[in-house]
Structure 1
Amino acid sequence: MSIDSFISYLSLERNYSSHTVLAYEKDILDFKEFAALQFNLTDIDEANYSLIRSWIIKLVESGISNRSINRKVASLKAYYRFLLGTERLSVNPLAKHKALKTPKRIEIPFSEREMEEVLGKVVYEGTFEGKRDKLIIELLYATGIRRAELINLRIKDVDLDGGTFKVLGKRNKERIIPLLGSLKRSIFDYMAERESLETIQDPAFVFLTTKGNKIYESLVYRVINRYFSEVSTKVKRSPHILRHTFATHLLNKGADLNAVKELLGHSSLASTQVYTHNSIAELKKVHLSAHPRNKK
């Protein structure tokens, strides 16, 4: 079945996280169900744009946000691109589709004060779990890596002597990231505690649960939400906000945009530029406070 082949492709060749793969699969199966019920079409490989547009209209009328609809359509578009690439389809029915307009979403990063407090004042238990949780936060903030990259980080890819580590990002793109001195010490301390685990089921991976298994996405989210709730009143406290914070703080300190792009593993500069609005706000503040003309 084409859908099964596509899902395998996302998981095995594109190295997408299980969460992302499930989201793609659900979107496509939702469309498949709509096509079968409304148009008696059991093979969505034969769907045309008119049918897809009817689905989009139904989603709009159901009150689903334009952002969510765009994501669903993007999943379907990726599926048809896959069919084109495998020569199972000659024309992508969504080739000329334009995404629905959505309001710009500004994600607020953690402040430097919040980061200092969560890493310097919050009490972490002196156990394996406590040291792991603190290292998760420290590593995400110090390097800007994605949640999936942290989860899949392998011991063999960490070079403490050289002060770098390697991550496998989107589209199987590898990149080398430098380690701060304080982060190297934290990793060393955590790894010593890690060896005290009674059983280790997934020895290749850096981050493990107390049962010795590789950590998972919801665990990382809970760690971030738990500790930042002690220092921040922000509504959104997630691993992605830490990635956003990493980029914003570097730019606020004058880091080159291209360098930040490479550290984040972005394929285009446009993806990195979304973080510059906070940097510009910082520049405005400095400009207003320092420029002589502002006092007139």
Structure 2
Amino acid sequence: MEDLPPVLRRTLEDYVEHLTRDRDLSDHTVRAYRGDVLDLFLHLQRLGSTDLTGLTVRSLRSWLANQQTRGRARGTLQRRTAAVRVFGRWAVQAGRLDQDPAAALRSPKRVRSLPPTLESADAAAMLAEALQVVAEGGGPAATRDVAILELLYATGIRVSELCGLDLGDVDDERQTVRVLGKGNKERTVPYGAPAARALTDWRAVRGALASPEAGAAVFVGDRGKRIDQRVVRRIVHRALRVVDGAPDLGPHGLRHAMATHLLEGGADLRSVQELLGHASLATTQIYTHVSDARLRSAFQQAHPRA
């Protein structure tokens, strides 16, 4: 960013402030949008522009064509198109542009691929192996890992939501957790008896790991502070590696598995949408494709007239 001309650098700083302060977007989304617009500005600079006068439909299309030439995935191109559209609208509203050239852009059609997921038998094996580690004297950390795995698979909450849980967010009587999702939207998600037992066992030994810096965090890392998302990812990857034939998935893979298994068990799509905290039903519908694919596979393997 230091290499940008002063006008473009200040524009990017003001835009990031708008995303953070006015739109209240997550840190992850702000970083992604900032990176996309920074890449666009660097492209404008290479074209000889030192301010926004170089931002035209033609320069935007040449930037996207350059992305495609560099092998960017279709999904990345779609996100970057969306990012410059958001920027274009802001630039007009903020008086930085008279017209929005990004409004003329068309998003490339995204080819939606099916996310890899976990068979229910593999999920059960993963949890059984984790419980075995506890039985063999794995200590408080192993007990914590079981609670993390059970809760992720039972609720389908995001890893950020799990790491943000406080002790007051867990309702033992109703067997629910209160989570703060994207856009600071709060929702309540139920969990079953195995996760309830795992949470009870973990909280009974939590004091052996937790330091005063952990505060009210439900889950703490080995150093006693609130657990980090990277640690949770390592826990999930490690737990799945010991299951023969299981795909190498992280916490989001358990979220996929929970949604897929619920739908295969007869849950309606709208209920799964609420549990996952999806703003749009279209986002949840990808899991119906996973279920359909697995049903077709079972039919083709087993039906005599397949």
8 Å Cα contact 2:116-2:247 kept in structure 1: no
Whether the aligned pair in 2 keeps the contact of 1:143 and 1:177 (CA below 8 Å) is yes
How do 1:28-43 and structure 2 match up within 5 A?
28-43=37-52
Structure 1 residues 168-177 or 274-283, which shifts more?
274-283
SS in 2 for 1:208: coil
TM, length-normalised to structure 1:
0.85
Q: Which residue of 2 aligns with 1:52?
A: 60
**Structure 2 counterpart of 1:181:** 193
**Is 2:102 the counterpart of 1:94?**
yes
Deviations 1:52-111 (A, max 9, x none): 111111111222222222223333333334445666656443223222234331112100
Give the drift of 1:7: 3.3
Distance 1:70 1:250 in 2: 30
Instruction: Tell me what 1:280 maps to.
Output: 292
Q: Which consecutive unaligned segments of at least 5 residues does structure 2 have?
A: 1-9
Q: Secondary structure at the match of 1:130?
A: helix
- d(CA) in 2 for partners of 1:234, 1:78: 40
Q: Distance in 1 between matches of 2:271 and 2:115?
A: 21
Measured against aligned partners, the alpha-carbon deviations of 1:164-186 in whole angstroms (never above 9, x if no partner) come to: 22111112211111121221221
Aligned residue in 1 for 2:254: 242
Q: Which amino acid aligns with 2:59?
A: L
CA distance in 1: counterparts of 2:260 and 2:169, whole angstroms: 26
Per the alignment, in what secondary structure is the counterpart of residue 167 of structure 1? strand
- Distance in 2 (CA, whole Å) between partners of 1:134 and 1:219 is 14
Describe the SS at the equivalent of 1:95.
helix
Q: Tell me if structure 1 keeps the 8 A contact 2:166–2:216.
A: yes
Does residue 21 in structure 1 map to residue 30 in structure 2?
A: yes
Task: Confirm or deny: 8 A CA contact 1:147 1:220 kept in the other structure.
Answer: yes
Give the equivalent residue in structure 2 for 1:251.
263
- 1:149 is displaced (CA, Å) by 1.2
Query: Structure 1 counterpart of 2:30, which letter?
Result: V
1:155 aligns with 2:152: no
Q: Is the 8 A contact 1:175 1:265 kept in 2?
A: yes
* Number of the residue aligned with 2:7: none
Alignment of structure 1 residues 5-154 onto 2, 5 Å: 5-8=14-17, 10-11=19-20, 14-16=24-26, 18-43=27-52, 47-83=55-91, 91-122=99-130, 123-125=132-134, 126-154=138-166
Of residues 240-249 and 180-189 in structure 1, the stretch that sits farther from structure 2 once superposed is 180-189
Structure 1, unpaired ranges of 5+: none
CA distance in 2, matches of 1:195, 1:86: 51
TM-score, normalised via structure 2 length: 0.83
Question: 2: CA distance between counterparts of 1:261 and 1:109?
Answer: 17
Deviations 1:160-206 (A, max 9, x none): 12322211111221111112122122112212222122623131322
Residues 91, 193 of structure 1: CA spacing in aligned structure 2 closer, same or farther, 3 A cutoff? Answer: farther
Find the residue that maps to 1:175 and give its secondary structure: strand
Letter in 2 for 1:71: R
Q: Distance in 2 between matches of 1:176 and 1:63?
A: 41
CA–CA distance in 1 between the matches of 2:67 and 2:305? 54
Tell me, in whole angstroms, the C-alpha distance in 2 between the residues paired with 1:127 and 1:84.
58
Paired residues of 1:48 and 1:93 also in contact (CA < 8 A): yes
RMSD: 2.9
Helix, strand or coil for the counterpart of 2:44? Answer: helix
Report the 3-state secondary structure (helix = DSSP H, G, I; strand = E; otherwise coil) of the residue aligned with 2:249: coil
CA distance in 1, matches of 2:248, 2:85: 29
Residue 57 of structure 1 aligns with an amino acid whose one-letter code is A
**Greater CA drift, 175-184 or 62-71:** 62-71
Task: Please tell me whether the aligned partners of residues 200 and 211 of structure 1 are also in contact (alpha carbons under 8 angstroms).
Answer: no
Q: Aligned residues, how many?
A: 292
Match of 1:4 in 2: 13
How do 1:208-219 residues align onto structure 2 when only pairs under 5 Å count? 208-219=220-231
Task: State the percentage of identical aligned residues.
Answer: 34
Amino acid of the structure 2 residue aligned with 1:180: G
Deviation at 1:283, TM superposition (A): 4.8
The secondary structure found in structure 2 opposite 1:149 is: helix
